[in-house]
């Protein structure tokens, strides 16, 4: 949750949503990166597309890049079995 809180802090500084910050960070990683977020809602599509105009500062990019890796499992045992198909 501390990682999410840090992303929320950067989002508040940038006047953006955490999702926009995540997409903007990915876009800042290089020209060969193309994030493809999924959504079912037009409002989320518009929100995601607006991330292209978001310019994170070098300090914000460093903060996000240097976050520690997330801890804990991301899938339970049943989900892992489904992924092994």
Number of domains in the chain: 1
Supply the range of the domain harboring residue 38: 2-83
Stated pTM of the model:
0.80
Q: Are 39 and 45 in contact (CB under 8 A)?
A: yes
- Residue-wise pLDDT for 41-69, tens only, equals 999 999 999 999 999 999 999 999 999 98
- pLDDT tier for residue 74 given thresholds of 50, 70 and 90: confident
Selection from 65, 44, 55 nearest residue 15 by Cα: 55
Q: Tell me how far CA of residue 25 lies from CA of 9, 29, 73, 77, in angstroms.
A: 14, 7, 24, 31
Contact by Cβ (8 Å): 19, 37:
yes
User: pLDDT tens digit string along 5-44?
Assistant: 999 999 999 999 999 999 999 999 999 998 999 899 999 9
Predicted confidence (pLDDT) at residue 85 exceeds the cutoff of 70:
no
Q: Are 52 and 27 within 8 A, CB to CB?
A: yes
């Amino acid at each position: 949750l501390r990682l999410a809180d840090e992303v929320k802090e950067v989002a508040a500084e940038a006047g953006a949503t955490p999702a926009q910050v995540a997409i903007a960070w990915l876009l800042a990683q290089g020209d060969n990166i193309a994030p493809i977020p999924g959504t079912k809602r037009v409002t989320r599509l518009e929100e995601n597309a607006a991330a292209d105009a978001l310019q994170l500062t070098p300090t914000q990019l460093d903060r996000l890049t240097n976050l520690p890796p997330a801890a804990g499992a991301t899938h339970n045992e049943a989900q892992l079995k489904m992924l092994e198909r």
